[in-house]
Chain A
Amino acid sequence: MSTATSAPPMIKASGVNKFFGDLHVLKEIDFEVPAGQVVVVLGPSGSGKSTLCRAINRLEPINSGEIQVDGKPLPAEGKALAALRADVGMVFQQFNLFAHKTILDNVTLAPQKVRKVSAGDARKTAMELLERVGIANQAQKYPAQLSGGQQQRAAIARALAMRPKVMLFDEPTSALDPEMVQEVLDTMTSLADEGMTMLVVTHEMGFARRAAHRVVFMSDGEIVEDSTPDDFFTAPKSERAKDFLGKILTH
């Protein structure tokens, strides 16, 4: 586990509040993800964990508070925000691969259009990444022709192609058939082992235990616990965490 140094945390949220109408979905959130750490966010449905993840690259604007990425506050809409997003990789629950483009084009698109990488270089990097996530042989197919697990691995490759400083995973395995969950988790685990800074919203307790440096437990828009996986799973402090764990770990 990396200890805090003088370098700014990769992600820092302070006093973040977010409302959906009257619903207070994020309540005074304070937390940090230091560079190189894998932080898993757990919590029941509706606890605000996905919203938190999406707020970090401003897919959900927040109402008050501040979010910093790599020491810089999130800019408002515009070029600066686009530049920041380019450095923050995001993987969605529904994969969101561009349906009208091949897997290879999905991966090469942003490096070419945003980073202005040449077509040849983008292609070379893309093929390496697709090789790494194990779907290089699917490069010429369209997303709809792939299984869910393959699509999600392609989506991870697409995010990695931008050489992000940090990766956000918003329930990456929740839309997958059970037999495909493992292949995606394996890809994420190997990414964690390589030292990528990751914020992972998930329901996969096994992944949290194995790959996380820290577990953040959210409930009703608040961060209730922030501890190591060992402490969280063996000795949860709060009643809400005990209740949550009791429901998911008993069967």
Chain B
Amino acid sequence: MFDFLSEYDVLGAFWVTVQLTFFSAIGSLIWGTILAGMRVSPVPLMRGFAASYINLMRNTPLTLIILACSLGLNQTLGMTLAGQNFEQQNYRLAILGFVAYTATFVCESIRSGINTVPVGQAEAARALGLGFTQVLGIVVLPQAFRSVVGPLASVLIALTKNTTIASTIGVAEASLLMSEMIENESDKIFLVFAIFALGFVILTLPTGLLLGWVAKKAAVKR
């Protein structure tokens, strides 16, 4: 029943999904943290920029963002991301799109985490003579992160599944292979669905369990 699988590189396709998720997650975490810092900064211009950026990105369909990265940035505006060929270009553009989009959710999670840190913590840090970036980086964010490991895990799981949208610009990840297999193996559609569903569960379930455990370990005791 599973003979046909030998003709397809299912593991290879999922490996691309893992890579997309991994690099997008790192990028989103960094960009999302910067955005969160801007949202709570004392500079009105930064707060304004971050708020507008988030409202724009968060309310735009991801498919549109990914397509805009490929058709707009790359093909119309000629932006390239140091890739050798078309395939590599789109792979990198997809990561750019995922980072731009997912960072807004990371930012909002972190911001809710910042709200869990009592005001007195920042006041004490300021009273000791720490500057804004030190108060944020040494006292507030480390406590904020610990309280949002759970919500960030949900964002990561959503990101993992969202990477399937990279198939719209031809990135050879799991869902692109799935479409191909559905076309070629029309008599085994449910089997193909099951295989890919299982593949994603294998990726996301341990992520959720692991980060759930980390969330418990990291929680700040007050």
Asked if A pairs with B, the answer is: yes
Contact surface of A with B, Cβ cutoff 8 Å:
57, 59, 77, 79, 82-90, 92, 94, 96-100, 109-110, 113-114, 142, 144-145, 155, 158-159, 162
1/0 per residue, CB under 8 A from A, across B153-197: the answer is: 000000000000000000000000000000000000000000000
- Verify A77–B146 contact, CB threshold 8 A: no
Q: Which chain B residues lie closer than 8 Å to A57 at the CB level?
A: 127
**Count of A-B contacts with CB under 8 A?**
71
Tell me if B121 is interfacial: C-beta within 8 Å of chain A.
Answer: yes
Q: Are A100 and B143 in contact (CB under 8 A)?
A: yes
Q: Does B221 contact A (CB under 8 A)?
A: yes
Closest-by-CB residue of B relative to A99 is: B220
Size of interface on B: residues with Cβ below 8 Å to A: 22
The 8 Å CB contact of B129, one of A59, A83, A144, is: A83
A20 to B153, CA, bound (A): 41
8 A Cβ contacts from B10-62 to A: 42
- Bound Cα distance A113, B135 (Å): 11
Whether A77 contacts B42 by the Cβ 8 Å rule is: yes
Q: Which 9 A-B pairs have the closest CB atoms?
A: A86-B129, A96-B124, A96-B120, A110-B128, A144-B221, A90-B127, A114-B129, A85-B129, A99-B220
Q: Does A99 contact B124, Cβ atoms closer than 8 Å?
A: no
CB–CB B142/A88 < 8 A: no
Given contacts A85-B128, A85-B129, A113-B130, contact A100 B146 (CB under 8 A): yes
Contacts of A96 in B (CB 8 A): 118, 120-121, 123-124
Complex formed: what's the CA distance from A162 to B130 in Å? 12
Bound form: Cα–Cα A82–B125 in Å: 10
CA distance A144 to B121 in the complex (A): 14
- Name the B residues within 8 Å of A85 (CB-CB): 126-129
Is the Cβ of B127 less than 8 Å from the Cβ of A59?
yes
Residues of B within 8 A of A88 (CB): 127
Instruction: Tell me the smallest distance from the CB of B121 to a CB of chain A, in Å.
Output: 6
Q: List 24 A-B contacts (CB under 8 A).
A: A57-B127, A79-B131, A82-B126, A82-B130, A82-B131, A85-B128, A87-B129, A90-B124, A90-B128, A92-B120, A97-B124, A98-B121, A99-B121, A99-B143, A99-B221, A100-B220, A109-B128, A110-B128, A113-B134, A144-B221, A145-B221, A158-B128, A159-B127, A162-B128
Name A's interface SS.
Answer: mixed
In the complex, chain A residues whose CB is within 8 Å of the CB of B217 = none
Task: Give Cα A77–Cα B43 distance, bound, in whole angstroms.
Answer: 11
B139 surroundings in chain A (CB, below 8 A) = 98
Residues of B within 8 A of A82 (CB): 126, 129-131
Q: How far is the CA of A88 from the CA of B221 in the complex (A)?
A: 28
Partner of B138, one of A94, A113, A142: A113
Instruction: Give B184 Cβ to nearest chain A Cβ, in Å.
Output: 54
